[in-house]
Homo-oligomer: A and B are copies of this chain.
Amino acid sequence: MTTGPTGKRLPRAVREQQMLDAAVAVFSRRGFHAAGMDEIAEEAGISKPMVYAYLGTKEELFVACLHREATRLMEAIARVVEPDLPPDEQLWRGIRAFFGFVAGHRDGWGVLYRQARGQEPFAAELAGMRRRMIEVVAGLLERAVTRAADASGGTGAKRPAPGRDLTAMAYALVGVAESLADWAAEHPDEDAEVTAARMMNFVWLGADARLRGASWRPSTCRDSPAA
């Protein structure tokens, strides 16, 4: 009775949201497989066939949850990033929005996202979202690199090339965000703002330097003590 037994008849749109809320909660604490449709129905204060009538199959339901949460996340970020700001400012805002969202939607994130990777039916869906995210970040990086080039008369040395390098870097950035989201989940006392700052500190110093053409040298020896 989490959503509360409204007792009364509700229009479809409302019930659907309630069901999604319930589903997110249950999937989150049980995992996709262990979650039961009955349990979800009960949590939504409704009975099973309703769920099937409105949201379809268990898989479809999960995808619906995933979709809703992902969209919300994207929007939360998009709402804050204005494309004319300097790259670091954009990144900073994006990151803040991200951790803010994650802090606010513990279960929405926690398991939906974690769950979806690897679980074949959903991997695709999730990968799409992730890809969009990464493309956005990669675009940001690209603008940052051209900007840096303009600023300091272009000695186009071994600055990262637009293609592979930047996408890889975008992956890395997203990876940092995801991992720090986990860290934040384990330390609920930490403020989202602080986590965001931590990430920015770690990430921007390196990214900025790298985008300007700096790099790390493999130092001395080529080691390889057997395989």
Contact = CB atoms under 8 A, between A and B. Distances in A.
A165 interface: yes
A187 B165 CA distance: 12
Copies in the complex: 2
A119 interface: yes
Given A168-B183, A172-B203, A176-B176, 6 more contacts: A92-B216, A92-B218, A93-B223, A175-B179, A179-B179, A206-B209
Contacts of A32: 33
Interface residues of A, number: 60
Nearest to A160: B201
A202 B174 CA distance: 13
Nearest to A187: B164
A9 to B, nearest CB: 32
A57 interface: no
Nearest to A33: B33
Contact of A175 (B118, B180, B225): B180
A160 to B, nearest CB: 8
Nearest to A182: B171
A55 interface: no
